[in-house]
Amino acid sequence: GAVVSQHPSRVICKSGTSVKIECRSLDFQATTMFWYRQFPKQSLMLMATSNEGSKATYEQGVEKDKFLINHASLTLSTLTVTSAHPEDSSFYICSARTASREGLNEQFFGPGTRLTVL
């Protein structure tokens, strides 16, 4: 249980185009999803917190107009990188939060999406 999928796993796009990444919780409902970005040999940096049915909360320094987040249902959140530039090339990872029977507020991570902007 507690499987999170991401699509696509890899995407290459031209500079100036927009790319949409989907994050789905497959066998549980996730009221909260998180979007992270990871540059090579660096740790995960939280970009935004996405709550179903409400606006995402962005971390300081993350442009909300560039990284559009939509959390339309309890199992799906999308991240759209608008007008992508080479510096947006990174590994984007989502996670979904669920409270386990033991009350553990655990986050389950998706497999990540490797974005390369040419």
Partner 1 sequence: GQNIDQPTEMTATEGAIVQINCTYQTSGFNGLFWYQQHAGEAPTFLSYNVLDGLEEKGRFSSFLSRSKGYSYLLLKELQMKDSASYLCAVSEGDYKLSFGAGTTVTVRA
Of 18-26, 69-77, 79-87, 103-111, the window that binds partner 1 (rule: CB under 8 A) is: 103-111
Q: Quick one: which of 26, 106, 116, 118 contacts partner 1 (CB under 8 A)? A: 106
Angle among Cα 63, 64, 65 to the nearest 5 degrees reads: 95
Q: Report, in Å, the least distance between residue 114 CB and partner 1.
A: 8
Q: Report, in Å, the least distance between residue 8 CB and partner 1.
A: 14
Q: Per-residue string for binding with partner 1, 32-71, x by CB under 8 A? A: x-x-------xxxxx--x----------------------
Q: Report, in Å, the least distance between residue 78 CB and partner 1.
A: 17
Helices assigned H by DSSP within the chain? none
The closest alpha carbon to 13, from 70, 88, 65, belongs to: 88
Q: Tell me the two tokens of residue 65.
A: 């107009």
Q: Tell me the two tokens of residue 22.
A: 């989907």
Q: Tell me the two tokens of residue 25.
A: 């919780």
State CA 62 to chain mean position distance: 13
Which residues here bind partner 1, judged by CB under 8 A? 32, 34, 42-46, 49, 91, 93, 95, 97, 104-112, 114
